[in-house]
Amino acid sequence: MSEQATLLSCGHEVLDALQCHYCTYIQNDLIEELALPKDAHGKQREFSHHDEFQFILVHQSCELSFKGYLYEAKRVISCLEQDQLGEALNFIERCRSWILIAARQLQHLVDHLTPEDFAFFREFLSPASGAESIRFRLIELITGLGADSPYVSHRGHTFSFRDFLDRGPAEGAGRPKTRWWTAEMSKYDQGLNFKKSFLSYLKRNSIAPLNSLIDTEQNIQTCTDLLLKDDAVAELARGLIKLEKAILAVRKVHLNAAKKHISESAGTGHTDGVMYLRSVLETARCFPALTKAYEQLEREGRLS
């Protein structure tokens, strides 16, 4: 090592100890630490199975992608509130890209983790569940899924988004061990989201009724007319539908992973596993009327 150089912990020799350096800029040491499994007390433990590493890494990668979505989501809302539809669509596309990255990461587990290998370390996960991902819940809220939106049919009862997530922890088989709803989710639900801001734009410009993206029965024709226009509003509406489909892609991969890894057994979070995930995939929608109109137009071949 030269006399004037400094040797960093990563092994690189640099001219100035305070210069911007790749390993410190991306916090490489922290990345190495985060990939190690922890026990219930937060203490590092050994990997229980070789494939536990990829399981942790995939979910951490998803959380980073979710963080990217939430970061760009603020710009979406800001642009919509300022009637900047073109800019809003650009940031919606960024959000869509982030969520599709997460879907591809989860697909890695479907492709490369066997049920037998997952069984080796699944016992260390219970009663944790991917449903506890706060960032994914915030994505649902900031995109347009309201607390009162239909969310899941569970054991003969249809729950709203908040009702299902806000069930308190309770002893007993099949009962939730974690209250999934948090105070931060309440703040997001009360604040602006893509749907509220888009509806406000439509109202300010006298384009469509205020509830035009919500009611799935009375406003299908309104949404159909909106989607078939050749203007910035229609382009944005179609962008929101593509974004909704990307969110559904994450749910679908999660469902496929559950089908492969746990079959019809209960989920680690004490849900009904595959049945729960299938019901959410079929029920939860940020833009129900818009989605229904789009799907109808697709079937009829009326979308270019």
pTM: 0.92
16 within some domain: no
DSSP 30-64: HHHHHTS-B-TTS-B---SSTTHHHHHHHHHHHHH
**Residue keyed to tokens 């300022």:** 82
pLDDT at 157: 85
Residue 296's CATH number:
1.20.58.480
- Assess contact for 51 and 58: CB atoms under 8 A: no
19 within some domain: no
Q: Which residues contact 254 (CB under 8 A, 6 or more apart)?
A: 106, 130, 277
pLDDT at 107: 97
pLDDT at 131: 87
Give the residue ranges of the chain where pLDDT is below 70. 1-3, 210-211, 214-217, 264-271, 304
User: What is the four-CA torsion angle of 136, 137, 143, 149, rounded to 10 degrees?
Assistant: 140
Structural domain containing residue 147? 35-300
21 within some domain: no
Domain count along the chain: 1
pLDDT at 1: 58
30 within some domain: no
Q: Is the peptide bond before 37 cis (omega within 30 degrees of 0)?
A: no
Q: How long, in residues, is the chain?
A: 304
Q: For residue 140, give both structure tokens.
A: 């649902």
Question: Quick one: which of 267, 248, 250 has its CA closest to 118?
Answer: 267
Question: Quick one: which of 107, 103, 83, 105 has its CA closest to 95?
Answer: 103
pLDDT at 144: 96
pLDDT at 280: 94
25 within some domain: no
113 within some domain: yes
pLDDT at 234: 93
pLDDT at 42: 86
Q: For residue 44, give both structure tokens.
A: 């590092």
Q: For residue 284, give both structure tokens.
A: 């939860």
CA distance 64 to 139: 13
Three-state SS at 44:
strand
282 within some domain: yes
pLDDT at 276: 87
CB-facing half-sphere around the CA of 22: CA atoms within 13 A = 4
23 within some domain: no
